[in-house]
Amino acid sequence: MLYEHVMLYEEFLTGSEILEMQTQLDMGHVQFGDKMIFASSAQSWALEKVQVENSNMKYAGKIISIPFRASSIHLPAESLLSLKHPYFPNVEEAARCWLEFSSYHGLHDSRNGAITILLPEIRAYMRQAEYVDNDTLEILTAGTDIEKVSLTIKGAYWIQETIYHFQTQVINSKAILNIPSNNQRLECYLIDQAANVYDFHKEDKYSRTVAPTRFKLRQPNAANIVFEAMIKGEGQRIEFKPFVEPDQAMIASGGGRSKLAEVIISAVAFANADGGNIYLGIDDDCCVAGIKKGLEKWGRGPISESLIARYLGTLKATIKDRIDGDVEIKVSAAKIDEELIVIVEVQDAARKPVGIRQDNYVYVRTGASNSKIPPNQLRHYFQSGIFS
């Protein structure tokens, strides 16, 4: 599409046409339609292998990028307006719509000022992976050549610091692997008999470098819920707190709110919004601090299963007793790196607002903070439909 100062251009290239473009780029220029563009500096090529649903496209494959700062091109500030083509308020919005990258960050995107060639791998890829039990991982494959090529899943997983290797042939588009679901790290590749890579997957206990829609390699246990929260950080549905004594007063000795009061306020704020989790034993830097020392002091004895159960039950009862309203709360524990973390799961309340006994204010979660609503502003929340 051609505007007064902007051209939106798209072309699907064959292998020979890509080689022809490479020759042009090596000579410092490239042609798009009837427009010849000259670079202002020498070019260097970069090649990256990517998995399914990466930041450029939904397919696995390869990304070739070439920085290309054209000497004669300047981004116009005005809107893109034409009788024949769609309207865009600026080049940034046009690029976001036209490029159809999986994600695009506008004027701050690192791919601006570059030529990006997408080489999608549609011959064979890992479509889905899921545990059928605690030690059996099933990987399903797909692609145009899936029945024509002999494929193998090969890789390794780690338990603590020990590496274990695996290799399994794909049969009828499926591979069955004996891999414990409690592994700390997993890497696997889909390859043919010549070791050509079609697709790959990598993850560890702290991060996932794959699309969560196709891989379900982490069981939704308490430890993995904590790791997910540590990656995301505090926000609309996540709050981090230190150890809390469930039998302490709402007002601390210094006159301010106690840690227990802060937990109860967060629980009420989550219930009045979209729900959320409070993690006891994670610090503000998203690191594991644990609650063992505080729990031993509170329980006046060493950590034991009975002490943990008593603490969880007391904490849950205290929170529910201080809340004025019906809120579903679940309290559980997770062991992370030899430490103990407590998860307080709060569901959004069916009837809102809920409050805190002997407190005239209502609290609502807004981003990573708890907003305090005075009584004279509650009418607005009812009228807007936030409370019902």
Q: How far apart are CA 354 and CA 327, in angstroms?
A: 8
| pLDDT tops 60 at residue 190 | yes
Query: What is the pLDDT of the chain when averaged over all its residues?
Result: 84
Residue 134, judged by CB atoms within 10 A of its CB (0-12, 13-18, 19+), counts as exposed
Domains recognised in the chain with CATH numbers: 15-121 (no CATH), 125-216 (2.60.40.10), 230-383 (3.30.950.30)
CA distances from 101 to 45, 76, 162, 199 (A): 20, 22, 38, 19
| pLDDT tops 80 at residue 306 | yes
384 near 377, Cβ under 8 Å?
A: no
Share of the chain above pLDDT 90, in %: 38
Helices (H), the chain: 15-26, 91-99, 222-232, 259-271, 292-299, 305-322, 378-383
Q: What is the pLDDT of residues 6-28, one digit of tens each?
A: 777 777 888 888 888 878 877 87
Region of residue 223 (left: phi > 0; alpha: psi -120 to 50; beta: else):
alpha
Nearest to 33 by CA among 16, 10, 13, 66: 10
267 near 323, Cβ under 8 Å?
A: yes
Q: What are phi and psi of 22, to 5 degrees?
A: -60, -40
Q: How far apart are CA 273 and CA 346, in angstroms?
A: 10
Q: Which residue has better confidence, 91 or 249? A: 249
Amino acid at site 21: M
Q: How far apart are CA 33 and CA 225, in angstroms?
A: 51
Mean pLDDT for 47-73 is 76
pLDDT-derived band at 40, boundaries 50, 70, 90: low
- Residue 77: the pLDDT is 64
Residues 6+ apart with CB under 8 A from 164: 156, 157, 158
| pLDDT tops 60 at residue 209 | no
pLDDT-derived band at 238, boundaries 50, 70, 90: very high
Residue 36, judged by CB atoms within 10 A of its CB (0-12, 13-18, 19+), counts as exposed
52 near 199, Cβ under 8 Å?
A: yes
| pLDDT tops 70 at residue 252 | yes
The sign of the dihedral angle between the CA atoms of 156, 159, 163, 168 is negative
- Which of 1-5, 44-48, 128-132, 332-336 has the weakest average pLDDT? 1-5
- Residue 383: the pLDDT is 55
Q: What are phi and psi of 122, to 5 degrees?
A: -110, 0
| pLDDT tops 50 at residue 37 | yes
pLDDT-derived band at 144, boundaries 50, 70, 90: very high
178 near 141, Cβ under 8 Å?
A: no
pLDDT-derived band at 208, boundaries 50, 70, 90: very low
- Residue 114: the pLDDT is 79
Q: How far apart are CA 227 and CA 206, in angstroms?
A: 6
127 near 140, Cβ under 8 Å?
A: yes
- Residue 291: the pLDDT is 95
- Which of 31-45, 151-165, 207-221 has the weakest average pLDDT? 207-221
Q: How far apart are CA 318 and CA 321, in angstroms?
A: 5
Nearest to 209 by CA among 332, 48, 327: 48
Question: Hey, which of 41-45, 82-86, 315-319, 354-358 has the most confident mean pLDDT?
Answer: 315-319
- Residue 36: the pLDDT is 77
| pLDDT tops 50 at residue 135 | yes
pLDDT-derived band at 223, boundaries 50, 70, 90: confident
pLDDT-derived band at 210, boundaries 50, 70, 90: very low
Mean pLDDT for 121-137 is 87
The strand pairing partners of 76, in sequence order, are none
| pLDDT tops 60 at residue 301 | yes
Residue 7 DSSP symbol: B
- Which of 112-116, 289-293, 323-327 has the weakest average pLDDT? 112-116
By DSSP bridging, strand 162-169 and strand 174-178 are unpaired
> How are the residues of the chain apportioned to helix, strand and coil, as percentages rounded to the nearest 5?
20, 35, 45
